[in-house]
Amino acid sequence: MSKARLIFGMMLIISLMAVGCSQNQDVVNESDSNKEEVAGVIELDMWIHQSGEDETNYNLERIAAFNEAHDSEIHINVEVVMDDGGSSYNDSLNAALVAGNLPDVLALDGPFVASYAEANIIAPVTEFISDEDRADFVDSIIEQGTFNGELYSLGAMESSVVLYYNKEIFEAEGIEAPTTIEEAWTWDEFMAVAKQLTTDDRYGLNLFMDYGVGEWYTYMGAPFVWSNGGSLISEDGTTVDGYLNGPESVEALEFVKSLFEEGVVSLTPSETQFESGKAAMALGGPWIALSAENAGLDYGMMPYPYSEVPKSPSGSMAYAVSSQADHPEAAYKVMQWMTNEESTIGLSRVTGMPPARKSAFENMESYNELPKKVMRDQVVNTAHARPTTPAYPVLTDAFAQALHAAALGEDPQEVLDQQVQRVERELRRFNK
């Protein structure tokens, strides 16, 4: 998950609710392809989202390589669809759905798989994936892509949130950083160190609250609930009452609230608070490693702190087959190619994001040594996918609003009880 995806996630809330009734026909880069089979070659349309230049160019190179390797069988007509970090990409999908010209293969943000599946934008691919191939993906990728027992998506890259730390500050304070999941700090230990590291001109911790009330708060904050034995929604996905507002969730947000009450974290951090040494630790995504390196900071990584059992964030962009694909098996071959070992290794090197396959981790030396080994261990062992429910757009907003309210000092129980009511209304749309 990149910073742009965090913003896109929340904008998806409104647009997905309008799927099936939108009359917007302004599809960006709309293809004129009729997906016809010409001279025995299956023509497929594919949409990828506009991302960073290096990532986009790499994906285009992989698609060109697919066409070369399958020149007598399948040909992909690829389009890079506008993604402004808002709702533009999803607006294009909505318009294509209404017009009946969805691409055969498309990129989507992993946590919203259930919403796309419920809206009949994507189709299951369970029948096409082999047991061997399925087993090579880290568990969180399969969990993220599964809805109602069917596999809908596969990701080429994963993500995680680790606890970054300033090595110079830690050495000066005589603090030893844990480097394995077994040594990860408990909440009490985490709080004690954060308080020790907080001074008049430095915060002990940065939670990147400047990203705004959105998907980042759920992505970063939900593991506090999960590691405390809680859940955002029932296992069968029918209710959030007693889960989103359950005692484990309330206790988790009470802990988040205490971080702000103790003054160890700021509601309004500067953009480079951690990189400039104004925060000793930072609970951040893979992109923080890049910004820290660019700033010349000597940093390390620690596992995500926990309450009862270690849990860590996960989820990023994935690929799926359209419900309107005339050749779903051929479309799956494209999806498989874009998520195979070679693709995942190359994408990881280009983006800095952890790969989605176990075999890729084994063949990337940087993930077998510190500091990236911490990220690998989390992706393989403690990663927890966000809930796969068609009500996720409303659920994630509800949790994000509650976490923000806790940071502002409001009572978590009262706020969560209020948010439960709106999510329950949304769930009633699907519990029929």
224-243 pLDDT, tens digit per residue, is 999 999 999 999 999 999 99
- pLDDT confidence bin for 85, thresholds 50/70/90: low
Of 77, 225, 162, residue with least CA distance to 371: 162
Q: Residue 90, exposed/middle/buried by CB under 10 A (0-12, 13-18, 19+)? A: buried
| Distance (Å, whole) CA 283 – CA 288 | 9
Predicted confidence (pLDDT) per residue in 380-397, tens digit: 999 999 999 999 999 999
**pLDDT above 80 (res 34):** no
pLDDT, average across residues 162-187: 98
- The mean pLDDT value for 109-129 works out to 94
Mean pLDDT over residues 176-201, rounded? 98
Q: How far apart are the C-alpha atoms of 252 and 354, rounded to whole Å?
A: 27
- The band of 2, judged by pLDDT with boundaries at 50, 70 and 90, is low
Write the CB contacts of 313 (distance below 8 Å, at least 6 apart in sequence).
1, 159, 160, 161, 219, 220, 222, 223, 285, 304, 383, 384
Residue 354, CA distances (Å) to 215, 283, 382 in order: 19, 17, 14
Evaluate the CA torsion angle 16, 20, 25, 30 in order and state its sign.
positive
Residue with tokens 């989507």: 108
The amino acid that residue 131 corresponds to is D
Q: Exposed e or buried b for every residue in 56-76, given b needs 16+ CB within 10 A? A: bebbeebbeebbeebeeebbb
Kindly give, in sequence order, each residue whose CB lies less than 8 Å from that of residue 76, ignoring residues fewer than 6 positions away: 44, 45, 46, 63, 66, 67, 105, 334
Neighbours of 77 (CB within 10 A): 16
Residue 62 above 90 pLDDT?
A: yes
For residues 124 and 31, the model is more confident at: 124
On the question of pLDDT at 417 being above 90, the answer is yes
Check residue 22 and give its pLDDT: 39
Q: Is the dihedral of CA 243, 246, 248, 249 positive or negative?
A: positive
* Residue-level pLDDT at 27: 36
Instruction: Return the number of other C-beta atoms located less than 10 Å from residue 21's C-beta.
Output: 8
Please report, in angstroms and rounded to a whole number, the separation of the first and last CA atoms in the chain: 32
DSSP result, 157-198: B----EEEEEHHHHHHHTPPPP-SGGGPPBHHHHHHHHHHH-
pLDDT at 3: 53
Q: What is the mean pLDDT of residues 142-170?
A: 97
Averaged pLDDT, 92-96: 83
3-state DSSP percent of the chain in helix, strand and coil, to 5: 45, 15, 40
Locate 317 and state its tokens: 């962009």
- Among 167, 5, 150, 18, smallest CA distance to 86 is for 5
**In the chain, count of helices (H) and strands (E)?**
17, 13
Max CA pair span of the chain: 73
Give the separation between CA 208 and CA 337, rounded to whole angstroms.
35
Would you state the pLDDT for residue 405?
98
Q: What is the pLDDT of residue 13?
A: 43
420 pLDDT above the threshold of 90? yes
pTM of the model as a whole? 0.89
Query: Which CATH architecture best describes the domain 162-313+391-427?
Result: 3-Layer(aba) Sandwich (3.40)
Task: Give dist(CA 281, CA 265) in Å, integer.
Answer: 10
Give the pLDDT band (50/70/90) at residue 51: confident
Mean of per-residue pLDDT scores for the chain: 91
Give the tokens for residue 401: 């609003």
Which token pair is 10? 């929340």
- Percent of the chain clearing pLDDT 90 (strictly above): 83
Looking at residue 431, what is its pLDDT? Answer: 87
Residue with tokens 């978590």: 412
What CA–CA distance (Å, rounded) separates 191 from 205? 10
Between residues 390 and 34, which one has the greater pLDDT? Answer: 390
> What average pLDDT score do residues 69-86 get?
86
Rounded CA gap, 432 and 221, in Å?
31
pLDDT at position 9 over 80: no
List, for residues 326-365, the tens digit of each pLDDT value. Answer: 999 999 999 999 999 999 999 999 999 999 999 999 999 9
Across the range 115-136, mean pLDDT stands at 96
Q: Which CATH number fits the domain 3-159+315-381, given the four candidates 3.20.20.70, 3.30.420.10, 3.40.190.10, 3.40.50.620?
A: 3.40.190.10
Confidence check: pLDDT of 24 > 60: no
CATH 3.40.190.10 range(s) for the chain read 3-159+315-381, 162-313+391-427
Which pLDDT score, from 0 to 100, does residue 334 have? 98
How far is it, in rounded angstroms, from Cα 206 to Cα 276?
Answer: 12
d(CA 4, CA 74): 32
Cβ proximity of 287 and 295 under 8 Å: no
